[in-house]
Amino acid sequence: MTLSVCFLSAELAPWAKAGGLGDVVAALSVELARRDVETSVVMPRHRNPELERLAAGSRRVLDSADLQLGRHAFRYHVLSCPGPLGVQLFLVDCPELFDREGVYGGGGDEHLRWLLLCHAALALWRTIGRGPDVLHCNDWHTAAAALLLRADQGHPALAHTRSLLTIHNLGYQGVISAGLATELGLGDEALERLDAGDLRAGRINLLKEGIRAAHAVNTVSPTYAREICTPELGMGLHEDLSTRPGGVIGILNGIDTRTWDPAADPLLPVHYSARTPAGKHTMRTLLCEKLGLTPGPAPVVGMVSRLVWQKGIDIALPALEQALAEGSIAVAVLGSGERELESALGGLGQRFPGRLAFRQGHDEALAHWIEAGSDAFLMPSRYEPCGLNQMYSLRYGTVPLVRATGGLADSVQDFDESRETGTGIVFRDADSNAVAWALGRMVELFRTPARWNRLRANGMAVELGWERPAGQYVDLYQRLVRQPVP
Ligand code: ADP
Ligand code: GLC
C-alpha cells in the first residue's frame, strides 16, 4: 500500500519562510511525492499574497471548527488546495491567529497559534476518516501534535498513525508557564503525561513534550544528532534525548537543486556551471557593482544569515575588521535580526566603504546573487543543526569557510593541499582567532588560482540533492509504520 506522510510545519517556502525549515519542508515533500509517497503539508494560512492566490482555488475540508484553549475560543477552517508538484496542501485558516506580518509573532499568544495548528491537523484527519501513516512534526511549533496524537490514538482514523518529530533547531523550545496548562486543550489523561519535573518548576516545555511523546525523533545531521545528546549542546534536553528508546537519528538535509542551480537560477542574470565557469566571474562583477564594492584582486566573502547568537556573527566581527583593515578581503552581508549585530555590521560598512556592504532585511534574490557572486562564504556558527547556505555555496562554486559543528562538519571537508581533496576551509574553535586563521588561509589559497579552482571544482562536484536524504526518510517512515505502538 502507498505510504502516506503529512508534514506539519510553520514554514513552507516560498510562501512562508524565515529560515531553512521552509526550504527543507518544501523540497523534501516534493521529493517524496515524486517517489509516490502520498504527501501532504498542513500549515497556517499566513498573510501572503501568493498564498491568497492558492487559497482562492481551494475548498473547505473542515468548515467552522471550534476549539477551546483554556479561556480562549477559536473558530477556524481548513482549506485544501494543490500544493507544489504533487503535494497536497492544507491551510489552517484562523485570521485571528495567522493573518499577521511574518511567520512568527513572538507575542504572548504564540503558543496558542501553534497549538491551534496541531489541533486542527488532528481534527482534519479525524474528519477525513483515515490519518496518514506518518505525521511528520517539525520543531517546537508542531511538537505538541505528537502529544495530541497519543491522546487520540484510540480514534479509528488515527490508530495506525505514527509520529516523527524532526528537530531543526534545539535553541527554540516553546517554553510556557505551567499556569497555561489548560490552554494546551488536552484531556486529563494527556495532562497527566506532561513532564512532572517541569510542572513542579512552573513550566511546560512543548519541544520536550514532543520529544517524550513522538514515536521517533530525528535531527538534520548526524553530528548534530550526537551533539544534542551531550550537555554542551543539548540545551537542557540532552537527557531526554539520549535516553530515548531508538535514540536520535541524524539525516543530513539536502538542497533543492532546481531552485539553487547556477546553470538555470531564474534570480540570476547570468548562468554558469563547473564546465562553463565564466559566468561566475561576471556575477562577481555584477554583485560588486550592485553593492558598491571595489575588491580589486581581493576575494569577496559572502554571508547570508539570520543575525542571531547561534550564527556566531559577533565572533567573526573582529576577524573581519582586521582583514578589512589589511585590505585582504571584501565582504557582502545580507541579514536581519538582533539590533546590535545589525548596527555593528552597518558600522563596519561605514568604516570600510567599498569593502564591506551590509544589506539589512530579507531579500531572496540578493541571497542568490551573494551565493553566485562571492568567492567564499563564511559561516562561523556556534551551533548549526544542518545549515543550507554552505551547501548552496558548494553548488555555486563559492568556497565555504565553516566552523566544525553540526551539519557544517558533515557537509564540508577541509581542503588537503597535498592531496588536493576537500571542499572548503574548516575551523574548530568558536573564537575570532579561528575565523582570522580561516580567512588568512582562504586569502592564501585564493592567490594560487590552480589550487583555488581545484578547491572550487571539488565543491561543485558534490551530490547535494534530496534524493539520498529522502530515501533515508522513507526507510525511517517504513520502520516506524512496521513498529508496534510502544
Ligand atoms: P537557519 O534555518 O538557521 O536560518 P539555514 O542555513 O538552514 O539556517 O537556512 C537559512 C535559509 O534562509 C537559507 O535559504 C538562506 O539563504 C535564507 N536566508 C537567511 N537570511 C536571509 C535573508 N536575510 N534574506 C534572504 N534569505 C535569507
Ligand atoms: C534550522 C537550523 C539550520 C537548518 C534548518 C533546516 O533553522 O538552524 O541549521 O539547516 O533548520 O533544517
Q: Ligand 2 within 6 A of 227 CB?
A: no
CA of 407 to the centre of ligand 2 (A): 9
The 10s digit of each residue's pLDDT in 301-337 is 999 999 999 999 999 999 999 999 999 999 999 999 9
CA dist., res. 254 & res. 261, Å (int): 13
Q: Ligand 2 within 6 A of 220 CB?
A: yes
Q: Ligand 2 within 6 A of 253 CB?
A: yes
The 10s digit of each residue's pLDDT in 128-139 is 999 999 999 999
Point out the ligand nearest to the CA of residue 368. Answer: 1
Q: Ligand 1 within 6 A of 381 CB?
A: no
Closest ligand 1 atom to residue 359 Cα is 23
Q: Ligand 2 within 6 A of 141 CB?
A: no
Query: Is the confidence at residue 83, as pLDDT, over 90?
Result: no
Q: Are 424 and 390 in contact (CB under 8 A)?
A: yes
Q: Ligand 2 within 6 A of 20 CB?
A: yes
The 10s digit of each residue's pLDDT in 259-284 is 999 999 999 999 999 999 999 999 99
Helices 313-326, 432-446: inter-axial angle, 10-degree rounding: 50
Closest ligand 2 atom to residue 388 Cα is 10
Query: Is the confidence at residue 240, as pLDDT, over 90?
Result: yes
Backbone angles phi, psi at 273, to 5 degrees: -150, 180
Q: Are 166 and 141 in contact (CB under 8 A)?
A: no
Q: Ligand 1 within 6 A of 367 CB?
A: yes
The predicted model gives 152-156 an average pLDDT of 94
* Residue 139 exposure: Cα atoms within 13 Å on the Cβ side: 21
The confidence band for 238, taking pLDDT boundaries of 50, 70 and 90, is very high
Domains of the chain: 4-254+467-482 (3.40.50.2000), 278-460 (3.40.50.2000)
Across the chain, which distance is largest between two alpha carbons, in Å?
Answer: 68
Mean pLDDT of the residues in the chain: 96
pLDDT the model gives residue 478: 97
Point out the ligand nearest to the CA of residue 400. Answer: 1
